[in-house]
């Protein structure tokens, strides 16, 4: 199976959420039952990479997706050298809330593609609404290893998960070569 060239906003009329299976029940449940509700409530945006060919139900399978939301962090969770340069009130960040690849596409580089697309999208949003960093809460040690490969650093433990971050300054260097 092959996929389209662009991530587009989740549309439950066009995209088959029920068939998505990345092997992680929490991520499957999110795309199948929560993503559209969260978008409707205005708390996050989910972007999907659809397959080229529709299923018998005429909906397009989802090959990969990411979900983003605005958030904030407490300056006390940052490394001391960074924290001393920031105000004492909550620091605005973007939350990369979910990122997953359907199990049929594992090993094809779609995890990296999805992450790069999410970072690029958030870099573009940052031009209009500034944030200090992008944070992600890792579901597993494998997820932590994945994000570490792409420049994320451990920030703290949050709700029993490792929270990682990448400063927007670093993201900007990736996309603008600064």
Q: How far apart are CA 23 and CA 101, in angstroms?
A: 9
- Predicted model pTM: 0.93
How many C-alpha atoms does 19 have within 13 Å on its Cβ side? Answer: 17
Segments of 107-177 assigned E as strands: 133-138, 153-158, 161-167
pLDDT tens-digit profile of 66-77? 999 999 998 888
Q: Which long-range contacts (CB under 8 A, 24 or more apart) does 145-149 make?
A: 146/111, 146/115, 147/115
Please state, in angstroms and as integers, the Cα–Cα distance from residue 149 to each residue in 112, 144, 164, 178, following that order: 10, 9, 12, 20
| Domains contained in the chain, CATH given | 8-174 (3.40.630.30)
pLDDT tens-digit profile of 122-176? 999 999 999 999 999 999 999 999 999 999 999 988 889 999 999 999 999 988 8
Q: In which band, very low, low, confident or very high, does the pLDDT at 79 lie, cut at 50, 70 and 90?
A: confident
Strand 15-16 versus strand 60-73 pairing type: parallel
């Amino acid at each position: 199976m092959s996929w389209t060239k662009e991530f587009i906003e989740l549309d439950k009329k066009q995209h088959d959420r029920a068939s998505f299976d990345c092997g992680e029940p929490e991520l499957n449940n999110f795309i199948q039952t929560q993503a559209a509700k969260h978008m409707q409530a205005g708390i996050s945006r989910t972007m999907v990479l659809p397959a080229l060919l529709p299923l018998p139900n005429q909906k397009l399978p989802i090959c990969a997706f990411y979900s983003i939301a605005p958030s904030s962090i407490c300056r006390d969770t940052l490394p001391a050298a960074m924290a001393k340069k920031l105000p004492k009130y909550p620091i605005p960040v973007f939350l990369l809330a979910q990122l997953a690849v359907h199990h049929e596409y594992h090993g094809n580089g779609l995890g990296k593609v999805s992450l790069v697309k999410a970072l690029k999208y958030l870099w573009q949003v940052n031009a209009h609404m500034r944030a200090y960093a992008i944070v992600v809460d890792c579901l597993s040690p494998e997820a932590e290893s994945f994000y570490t490969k792409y420049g994320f650093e451990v920030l703290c433990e949050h709700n029993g998960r490792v929270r990682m971050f990448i400063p927007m300054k670093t993201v900007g260097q990736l996309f603008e070569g600064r």
